[in-house]
Amino acid sequence: MNAYDIIKKPVITEKSELLRKEYNKYTFEVNPKANKFQIRNAVQELFNVKVLTVATMNYKPVTKRHGMKLYQTSARKKAIVKLAEGHTITYFKEV
């Protein structure tokens, strides 16, 4: 797996933005088969930063109902990456 297969997309929510501003932690949705070492190397390679810690969370599929139809959400994995001081990742170009 290369770095683009491991990191799927950034997770941008109110909580993740608070983590980013206060603790220099960034949240990504990652490949469910990737481990912490692969995630660390992928973030360092893609964004050219130094990673201190990686925390991962696995989300199991949940059965939901829409009217009479049942469906399952997809399984996913999320990683919170803490960067060293002085390192940042910019998602968007600020105006």
Q: Residue ranges of the domains in the chain?
A: 1-81
Q: What is the pLDDT of residues 62-94, one digit of tens each?
A: 999 999 999 999 999 999 999 999 999 987 655
Which residue, chain included where needed, has tokens 């991962």? Answer: 56
CATH of region 1-81: 3.30.70.330
Q: Which residue type sits at 29? A: E
CA distance 11 to 26: 8
Cα–Cα–Cα angle for 6, 12, 18, rounded to 5 degrees: 120
CA distance 34 to 8: 11
Exposed / middle / buried, residue 30 (Cβ in 10 Å: 0-12, 13-18, 19+): buried
Q: What is the pLDDT of residue 62?
A: 96
Question: pTM score, two decimals?
Answer: 0.88
